Amino acid sequence: MLEVSAVTKHFGNGSARKTVLNGISFSVEKEEFVTLLGPSGCGKTTLLTIMAGFQSPSEGEIRIADRVVYKPGPDRGFVFQDYALFPWMTVRDNVLFPLREKKVPRVQQEKRLAELLRMAHLEGKEDLYPGQLSGGMKQRTAFIRALAGSPDALLLDEPLGAVDPQMRQQLQDELLMLWMKEQKTVIMVTHDVDEAVYLSDRIIILSSVTGRIEDEVCISLPRPRQRLSSAYIGIKNEVFRVLQRSCTRGDSASEDKTLQVS
């Protein structure tokens, strides 16, 4: 469904040239939930924005359903770290934005809006502005806006980064529920190991030292996952080991090797 082929990204020129991504390749199946995990600065956002079509790779290509990505399109929904809602628009106008862009008929717009508001427990909030919503409501509005145009893939960049830990776990469950109901392919960026293990079918761990994929960890535990089970803790430890390995190659090129442990 989504194919990342030998994607390399350099920034800067001459001696200031920095290779952030170095020949990254992987594919994602339809309806798979994949997480890109790695320390801050390893290139997760860069890779996701290339997938979204906001910037192009220096080398390599990305294909979605066999079409090469070269600009943003309605086949991909995107949620940024800071919600990215339009503050001057109500919940209704934010959520309907992608449908109006696609010139979906009015009646269908209203039907989809009602369905999404119900799914995200936002009924009755449609006339509020983002500034009048709690952090969790803003986040859920951003999710349903990304889902509104029925994209093939949802690209999420640390979508829960701005919410407090307790709300975060609740939103993780809501994200899972939306994913199961809407059956989307999800590619999510996070630097939170627990979040990655709780949510994903597969975790792709990037190295900030090499700019390559360090390793992948597949997770077949049934959902909802039990954070205190020994299988869950075992997988978390395995992911930590891979992350540790990716950070300790003794290359001074990596600048920020801090990991957030949750």
Ligand X SMILES: Nc1ncnc2c1ncn2[C@@H]1O[C@H](COP(=O)(O)OP(=O)(O)O)[C@@H](O)[C@H]1O
Could you list the residues that contact ligand X (CB under 6 A)? 11, 20, 38, 40-46
Closer residue to Mg ion, CB minimum distance, 38 or 98: 38
Euclidean distance between CA atoms 99 and 231, whole angstroms: 42
Cβ-based nearer residue to ligand X, 158 or 182:
158
CB of 83 to ligand X, least distance (A): 17
Complete DSSP assignment for 97-124:
HHHHHTT--HHHHHHHHHHHHHHTT-TT
Q: Shortest approach of ligand X to residue 147 CB, angstroms?
A: 23
Compute how many other C-beta atoms are within 10 angstroms of the C-beta atom of residue 1.
15
Provide the minimum distance between the beta carbon of 84 and ligand X in the complex, in angstroms, as a whole number: 15
Would you say 7 or 91 has its CB closer to Mg ion?
7
Contact 25, 5 (CB under 8 A): yes
Q: Which long-range contacts (CB under 8 A, 24 or more apart) does 162-170 make?
A: 162/81, 162/82, 162/83, 162/135, 163/135, 163/136, 163/139, 164/135, 165/262, 167/135, 167/136, 168/195, 170/136
Complex with ligand X: residue 55 or 134, whichever CB lies closer: 55
Give the interface segment with Mg ion, choosing from 24-32, 40-48, 110-118, 236-244 (CB under 5 A): 40-48
262's contact among Mg ion, ligand X, none, with CB below 5 to 8 A by partner kind, is none
- Nearest approach in angstroms of CB 103 to ligand X is 33
Under the criterion CB under 5 A, does residue 45 sit at the interface with Mg ion? yes
